[in-house]
Every structure is written in C-alpha cells, then in structure tokens.
Structure 1
Amino acid sequence: MASRVLYLFGSAAPPVLDIARVVEDAQADGWDVCLGLTPTAGDWLHGSLDDLAALTGNPVRQRYKRPGEPDVWPPADAIAFAPVTANSLNSWALGLTSVFVVGVVAEAIGKRIPVVAMPCVNSAYARHPQIQPSITTLRAAGVRVLWGEEGFTPNEPGEKKPYPWRTVLDAVREPRPRTS
C-alpha cells in the first residue's frame, strides 16, 4: 500500500480525458491517488467515473461533502491540479470556492500542503488580462505553477499539442520548499 496520498484534480480541458493513464503513472510513482474533478470535467468523464473509482480505490469527488458527513479520503500529502482551466485558475487566485476542487486547493495554501498546478489554456485565454495576475498570486502564495518554459506553453486555439503530464508528476514528487 502506498504511504503518500496525492489528490489529483482536473478541470474540463482536453487533457483530463487522459486522467486514467495519469492515475496509473502516479500509482507507479508510489502515490495513493484521490481523484477530484470540476463538475464539467466530471460530466466529460461521466461514463468512466466508476472505473476511475475502482482504479484509485477511492471515490471520485466533484462536490463538497455535507456538514457532518465523514471525509471519505485520507489527508493529502500533496496536490496536483492539472489541467487547470482559465476559470479554475482565476477562481482559485481570487478565492472563489464554489467548486469543490478549487475550494480544496485554496484551503491547501493555508494548510501548507504542497500544491503543483499546470494550466491548460490556449493563447487567446493566455492573453486575457487576469491570467498572469492569477499565476503571480498563486506563486506568491507558495503554489508551484508550471507555466511557460517550466511547464505548459499555450497553444493556438484549436491546435493540439501533447500535454506534459510527466512534468506535473515529477514536480509533485519533489515539491519545492514553501517560502510563504
């Protein structure tokens, strides 16, 4: 049984469709994986949620638990949030936590849980004036945002490029010390 717990979170961007392979890769790295999805990502993967739960050995979560319900996941040792859409990135940086996975990563900052995030936005979204301030805010809070040469480079709208999943898993395996 793995001794380290990784919360693997994904937003609704095309790379989330490869999440089963990423879970397997994380497990091969020694992680016990708990998979969380935004509601739209969960909708995209609706037909495979039971298989993903069986693969991880944990329920796939998309929503907050009700008050008084027990937490069904063990505590996280690290969190990888990838792919992160413009909506999730900006919501997180602004502290808008109506979505379960965004709420967990927002709280992780205060709990000092190592978090690695890799956006997946095309170049049109990347030029939106809120994207860079959101990345800067999250980095200042201690989140390792894999953006640009260190991680994801935006593609042109409609362009298909491989998403660098291994970069995310390598970064979460060896988190940088927190400075904040």
Structure 2
Amino acid sequence: MDLGHPGSGGRPFLYVVVCAAGVAGGVGRLVTAAQQRNWDVGVVATPQSLDFIDRSAVETQTGHPIRSAWRRPGDPRPLPPPDAIAVAPATFNTINKWAAGISDTLALGVLCEAYGSGVPIAVLPCLNAAQAAHPAYRESLERLRGMGVLIGSHEPSVQPGTGGADVFRWEEALELLTPKPVS
C-alpha cells in the first residue's frame, strides 16, 4: 500500500465515513486521535449525518471540506485517495446497504469501491438492540467480515437516552487499522 499523498505532508490519508447516529457529533474525537497518530484525515458524511455534526468545526479540524455528494464531471478531487477508511458511527441502514452493494450516496459509493481497491476498512456499528436483532444485520456483518472489513466491538444500545454515546470507543477504529506485530 502506498502511504502518504502530496498535500498531506507525506502522511497516510484516512477517510472517516460518518453516518446519522446520535454519537456522530463526537467525530472530532476520532479525527484528533487519528491526527495524533500521524494520519491526515478527511470526512465523508452521509447526507443525513450532516445534521448531526458541526460541519464548520470538523472542516477546520481536518483542513479539508466534508464530502457528502458526488462531484460534478471535471471538478477536482477535494480529497486524495484513502490509505484506510474508518466508518464511525455506522448505522443499521449503511451497514445493510453496503453489504448488499448499494451505492446510493457518496459514502456508500466510497465504501463499495474501497473493497475493490483493497483499502483497509474498520467499522464501528452504532445501532439499537432492536435493529441488531434483525437477521439482515447479522447477515450483513458476516458478509462484511468475509470482505475483510474489520468490525468493532461496540454493543448495540438498549438505552435510548444516551444511544451508547457514553461508551462509544472512537479510537477502536484506529486500533483495528493498526497492523499487529507478527510474533
């Protein structure tokens, strides 16, 4: 894998795909953790997640525009290609559509293409227990695992008040993407 791109100071580039979950407003924690680990970071947001995040703050923090829609033909690429992708938080909808190969948003298009490009992907699911009980969700996780996607350990929330925000481990995405030493 070719790490580092012009304009990123030679640092590897991480896409953070953000979905519309209650914890999404904390995405700055993942951006900070990635930057501390020498990643340059760009955010790709589902259209619905834009209402959950502080767009201006995230763009200031990353130094890149948030992408949420396809660019027009001839427009320059606002972000370099990713060296890795963290999907956090990942909703029931995004996980199931991604596993089925549905590419109806830029975020899903990025995820579907990343598989074919061999880009490492870590996903931190964030959904409630009722959604997680649906058989399509379990089947989707199995399909994603079979595609080499690294799945986080966050348990579905049964507490609608917090949505799991108090225990959501943003940094786990980076832990999953960090190669383990061979012994």
Q: Does 1:51 align with 2:53?
A: no
How big is the alpha-carbon RMSD for the aligned residues of Structure 1 and Structure 2? 1.6
Query: Is 1:3–2:5 an aligned residue pair?
Result: no
State whether structure 2 residue 173 is matched by structure 1 residue 172: no
Alignment of 1:145-164 (within 5 A): 145-146=151-152, 151-158=153-160, 160=162, 161=164, 162-164=167-169
Compute the displacement of 1:167 (Å).
1.2
Q: 2:70 & 2:140 partners in 1: Cα distance?
A: 24
Unpaired runs of at least 5, structure 2? 1-8
Whether 1:61 aligns to 2:67 is: yes
Q: Is the 8 A contact 1:36 1:60 kept in 2?
A: yes
The list of structure 1 runs, each at least 4 consecutive aligned residues, that deviate by more than 2 angstroms after superposition, is 173-176
Q: Encode CA deviations 1:122-143: one digit per residue, 9 max, x unaligned.
A: 1100011200110111111111
Task: Give the distance between the partners of 1:16 and 1:61, measured in 2 at CA.
Answer: 15
Distance 1:71 1:25 in 2: 25
Deviations 1:57-87 (A, max 9, x none): 1111111111222211011110000110000
**Identity across aligned pairs (percent)?**
34
Is the 8 Å Cα contact of residues 123 and 157 (structure 1) preserved in structure 2? no
Structure-2 separation of matches of 1:118 and 1:2: 27
Matches within 5 A, 1:1-180: 1=9, 3-45=11-53, 48-146=54-152, 151-158=153-160, 160=162, 161=164, 162-174=167-179
How far 1:44 moved relative to its partner? 2.2
* Distance in structure 1 (CA, Å) of the matches to 2:121 and 2:180: 8
Q: Which runs of 5+ in 1 are unaligned?
A: none
Amino acid at match of 2:70: Y
CA-to-aligned-CA distance 1:68-111 (integer Å, 9 cap, x gap)? 22211011110000110000001101111111111101100000
Task: Measure how far apart 1:175 and its partner are.
Answer: 7.5
- TM-score w.r.t. the length of structure 2 is 0.87
Normalization by structure 1: what TM-score?
Answer: 0.89
Partners of 1:119 and 1:152 in 2: CA distance: 7
